[in-house]
């Protein structure tokens, strides 16, 4: 597959997604540097901006409690998808 065709099939990064990624990284840094409450606020804002990000949810869950990213809260979230896929299928 040509690179242009592969790139065209990738999800678009919106300004909200870009901001969510930045806020999430800031939140992780803040938590790691003793400012957990402020870090949590940034990570919560990131989740509001990009609620479909499973990656951010899993990383935040494991920061909260090791193993939480694969525990009951994770499975409730998966089941809430209903017929929607966990990740969209690739366009090959």
Q: Could you read off the pLDDT of 9-42 as tens digits, one per residue?
A: 888 899 999 999 999 999 999 999 999 999 999 9
Q: Look at residue 3 in the predicted model and tell me its pLDDT.
A: 92
DSSP, res 70: G
CB distance 41 to 57 below 8 Å: no
């Amino acid at each position: 597959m040509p690179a242009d065709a592969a790139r065209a099939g990738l999800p678009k990064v919106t300004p909200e997604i870009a901001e969510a990624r930045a806020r999430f990284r800031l939140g992780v840094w803040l938590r790691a540097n003793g400012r957990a409450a402020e870090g949590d606020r940034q990570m919560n804002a990131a989740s509001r901006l990009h609620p479909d990000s499973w990656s951010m949810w899993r990383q935040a869950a494991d920061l909260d409690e090791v193993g939480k990213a694969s525990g009951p809260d994770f499975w409730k979230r998966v089941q809430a998808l209903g017929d929607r896929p966990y990740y969209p299928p690739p366009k090959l």
